[in-house]
């Protein structure tokens, strides 16, 4: 079995159910449309097998599936795509928030260890600059500088993922 087949099998085992539920809400409960979108999403994952890891593919899969639904509405000439922020059905399990959190976590992992440590201390542990400097064993000016560059790198990474707008 090649890497692509193994990846799709693992993605299918891990993501088919949650992905189908997400797409089902987007297509108004049409099970056949939802299944078609999930199948196309997995096909595209197979085409990108070298870029994906099954445990971290969730944000990529959900984004592809959402884009496929939007493209389907546009192809049919349905006029307004009912997937803007004001038109999305309420999602009890907050899938969009989870996706955004995954994307932020991925962007954080891409930072250098020093930059990530500063962001974690300041924004996740809610320490002051002086407290973060003491914990990290660096001067306050270094914490401020690292924070500046880390936030710029995070912003750029999130813009690339479509989480924020330029």
Its CATH architecture, for the domain 94-166, is Orthogonal Bundle (1.10)
pLDDT of residue 85 exceeding 60: no
Residue 98 pLDDT: 66
In the chain, ranges of CATH 1.10.1740 domains: 1-87
Percent of the residues in the chain that have a pLDDT greater than 90, as a whole number? 16
Answer with the residue of higher pLDDT: 14 or 79.
14
pLDDT of residue 139 exceeding 70: yes
Question: Chain-wide mean pLDDT for the chain?
Answer: 79
Residue corresponding to tokens 């592809």: 64
Residue 9 pLDDT: 86
CA angle (45 as vertex; 62, 71 as ends), nearest 5: 55
Q: Name all contacts of 132-136 with Cβ < 8 Å and 24+ positions apart.
A: none
Residue corresponding to tokens 């890891």: 53
Q: Where are the alpha helices (DSSP H) in the chain?
A: 3-26, 31-47, 58-75, 95-109, 113-119, 129-136, 140-160
**φ, ψ for residue 110 (rounded to 5)?**
-80, -15
State the pLDDT confidence band at 86, using cuts at 50, 70 and 90.
very low
- What's the CATH fold of domain 1-87? Rna Polymerase Sigma Factor; Chain: A (1.10.1740)
């Amino acid at each position: 079995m090649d890497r692509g087949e193994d990846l799709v099998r693992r993605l299918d085992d891990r993501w088919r159910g949650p992905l189908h539920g997400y797409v089902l809400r987007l297509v108004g409960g049409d099970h056949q449309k939802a299944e078609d979108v999930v199948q196309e999403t997995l096909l595209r994952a197979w085409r990108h097998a070298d870029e994906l890891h099954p445990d971290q593919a969730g944000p990529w899969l959900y984004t592809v599936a959402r884009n496929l639904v939007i493209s389907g509405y546009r192809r049919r000439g349905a006029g307004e795509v009912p997937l803007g922020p004001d038109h999305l059905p309420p999602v009890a399990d907050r899938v969009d928030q989870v996706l955004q959190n995954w994307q932020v976590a991925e962007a954080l992992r891409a930072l250098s260890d020093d930059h990530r440590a500063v962001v974690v201390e300041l924004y996740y542990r809610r320490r002051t600059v002086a407290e973060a400097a003491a914990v990290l064993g660096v001067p306050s000016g270094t914490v401020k500088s690292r924070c500046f560059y880390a936030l710029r790198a995070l912003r750029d990474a999130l813009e690339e993922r479509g989480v924020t707008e330029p």
